[in-house]
Structures are given as C-alpha cells and as structure tokens.
Copies of this chain bind each other. A is one copy, B any other.
Amino acid sequence: MTTPTAFRLFKQVPRILFGRGALDRLGELLPAQGWTACVVDAVHREGPIPARLAAHDVEVFWFDAAHEPSTDQVDAMAALVRAARAEGPSAILGLGGGAAMDVAKGVSVMLTNPGSASDYQGWDLVPHPAVFKLGVPSLAGSGAEASRTAVFFSGDRKFGINSDHSMFDAILLDPELLAGVPADQRFHSGMDCFIHCVEAVTGTMASPLAHAHAGKALELCEAVFLGEGSDDDLMVASYMGGCSIVNSEVGVAHALSYGLSLELGLRHGLANCIAFDALDAFYGAHVETFRRMMARHAIVLPRGVTRGMDRPAIARMVAMALRMERPLVNALGEDWRAVLTPERIEALYARM
C-alpha cells in the first residue's frame, strides 16, 4: 500500500429493510428476475420460515449450524446450488446466524469464481463479482450481516474471506425472527457483539466512525442484557457491531476463541464467552459487566474446557492465537509479542 494514511475504506451494505414483519417484504429486495438459492439454518426446518420463503421462486439448502462452517462445506453447497437448476440463481439468501450467513456469502463468491473457497481466505483475493446476495439474520450478534468477512475453517486454520464481493448487497433485519432463539444461544451470540465491540473501543485501530458504531452497540447490548432492551435493540446492536468491525479490529478474546473453536468444535459465540471470561487482565471493567449479564440471565459457562487436552492440541491453539497479528496489534500495540507470550497464552487457556 502506498496510501499516506492507514485507515481503510469503509464498505456498507447499500440497502437495509428494518422492521417487524419485514420478511413479508422480501420481494422488495430480491432481483426482479430469476430464482433465489436460500442457505437456511436447519433449525428452521420446522416452523413458518419455509412457507414464507416459498412465496418467492426459491430453492432451500439447509445448513446445519451445530458446528462452525468449513470451506469444504461452502464448496459442497455451491455444487448443490449449481446442480439444482439448469440456470444459475440470480440471488443467494442467507438466513440464520453468522454461520449460515457466512456460508451464503461463500456460496455467492464460489458461483462466479474458480477453485475452492479456501483459495480466497485472506484480504481482497476474490477476483470476480459474486452473485447478488441478501442477508437475513435470525440470530443476532455476529454482525455478519454488515461486514465483509465470511469466516471458515480450512485445514488447521480458521480464517476469513474479506472482500467487497463477500459483502451482502442488501439485508433484511426483522426482529420477529429472533423470537424463538433458545436463551443460551441468544446470549452467546449477543455476547459476540458485545465482545467485538469491547475489543474495538479498547483497541487502537478503530476510527472515530467505527468507535461510534461500537459504542452505540455496547450501549444497546447492555440495555438488552441488563435493562429493558428489546429484540429490536439487539438487532440494531448486532448490525452496528458489524459496521464497527469493518473499520476496526477484534482483540485478545477473538484471538484466543479461534483456537477453542478449532480444537474443541465450540461455536464462535460460546468460545468468545469462555475466552472473555478469562481476560480480566485485558478488559477488566467490561469483563465485570459481562459477568453481571451472565448472572442476570442465569448463564453457566462450561468450565475446564481445556483440561485433559494433549500437548499438540494446546500447541496448535497457541499457534492459532499467535497468528492473529492484526487483532493483537489492535489490542496491545506493536510490541504485543512481549505482552502475550506463548507461555501466557497457555496459562490463559488453562484458566478456561
């Protein structure tokens, strides 16, 4: 980069339909022609979602979000979409949490680009524009609806496709879709937002614009989980948290949570909660707020998750964390290696 200043171009989803019942206005956001491939979290097999989608010309591809998605799954899903009809879809819709939305992003990229999704993990590696895509969160917190990032496992790493072509062209934010989410999952996912916003506002990389988005999202998270905030507020928090990610960075919690997901198969929201709960030294007052939110919602985190792990597994987790350079610079400055040594990372994992 030869740019004189370090801040990045801030991309935004150009069209948002926000409101209770917005799902019934899907037609306003979908292209006028062609059919839509819907990547939908399999929890919605039962319930009203399939019938509501079927009001449009769609094919539904169920995604099982019990585990975090991999690039292999994206490649397989893209092959299914290609095989579904002679003519390719004019739109991809992702409905679910961050995992389902990320898979939809990945599929839209793979329909117009050769090879495997794993070829595009990194920054701005996607050469061709993707198929039009629409994000519909039914679980709030990941911010995937607002960001350029689509995170996937691939071999021994968890890593994002970050491209203008992996950003939704439109999003539909319908707080009614959050109604049936189990309390634990709602909390873990909401804390994904809370934690990445804490990481943004306490780090060095957030622009004033990202800072404002993250600050408002934090305020809304606290209203939701400590006050009288509604699902509408949670939906806005998730969206604004996602906006903040675009022009800031995550931090120590995300750096450590990736290893937990990689080795233990823990979902991102839960892994973040477990990591954050061990990070008093880095995020003191915010960790206290987090614990008050847990207590208020009677959330019990699993304890001792790293107990009994073998040395190679622990070494892989430490290596994964040390690979998260940008988040750790954001959190701890250029000299982060002096603060967050492999030994200290291992000791933090031992507390989880």
A residues with a Cβ closer than 8 A to B are 3-5, 7, 9-22, 24-25, 28-29, 173, 175, 207-209, 211-212, 215-216, 220, 230, 232-233, 235-236, 239-240, 247
List residues of chain B with CB within 8 A of the CB of A240. 212
A28: which B residues are within 8 A, CB to CB? Answer: 3, 9
Q: Give the complex CA separation of A12 and B167 in angstroms.
A: 14
Interface of A is mostly: mixed
Q: Top 4 A-B pairs ranked by shortest CB distance?
A: A7-B19, A10-B16, A208-B232, A216-B216
Residues in B with CB closer than 8 Å to A230 are: 208
B residues near A24, Cβ cutoff 8 Å: 4-5
Indicate if the CB atoms of A12 and B10 lie closer than 8 Å. no
Of all chain B residues, the one with the shortest Cβ separation from A6 is: B19
CB distance from A281 to the nearest CB of B (A): 29
Q: Which residues of chain B come closer than 8 Å to A4, judged between CB atoms?
A: 21, 24-25
- 10 pairs, A vs B, C-beta closer than 8 Å: A5-B20, A5-B25, A7-B19, A9-B17, A10-B16, A12-B13, A12-B16, A208-B233, A209-B236, A212-B216
- CA A12 – CA B25 in complex, angstroms? 19
Residue numbers in B under 8 Å from A247 (CB-CB): 18
Instruction: Say whether, besides A212-B236, A220-B212, A236-B212, A21 and B5 are in contact (CB < 8 Å).
Output: yes
Q: How far in angstroms is the closest Cβ of chain B from A212? A: 5
Residues of B within 8 A of A211 (CB): 236
Task: Select the residue from A25, A29, A175 with max chain B CB neighbours within 10 A.
Answer: A25
Q: Which of B207, B220, B232 contacts A18 (CB 8 A)?
A: B207
Cross-interface CB contact of A209 among B9, B16, B21, cutoff 8 Å: B16
How many angstroms between the C-alpha atoms of A7 and B173 in the bound complex?
12
- Looking at the assembled complex, report how far the CB atom of A340 sits from the nearest CB atom of chain B, in whole angstroms: 28
CA A332 to CA B4, docked complex, whole Å:
49
Please, how many angstroms separate the alpha-carbon atoms of A213 and B140 in the complex?
A: 18
Give which listed residue, B11, B19, B207, contacts A5 with CB less than 8 A.
B19
Are B208 and A235 closer than 8 Å at their CB atoms? yes
- By a CB distance below 8 angstroms, the chain B residues around A9 are 15-17, 28-29
Contact status of A11 and B14, CB under 8 A, knowing A5-B22, A22-B5, A220-B212: yes
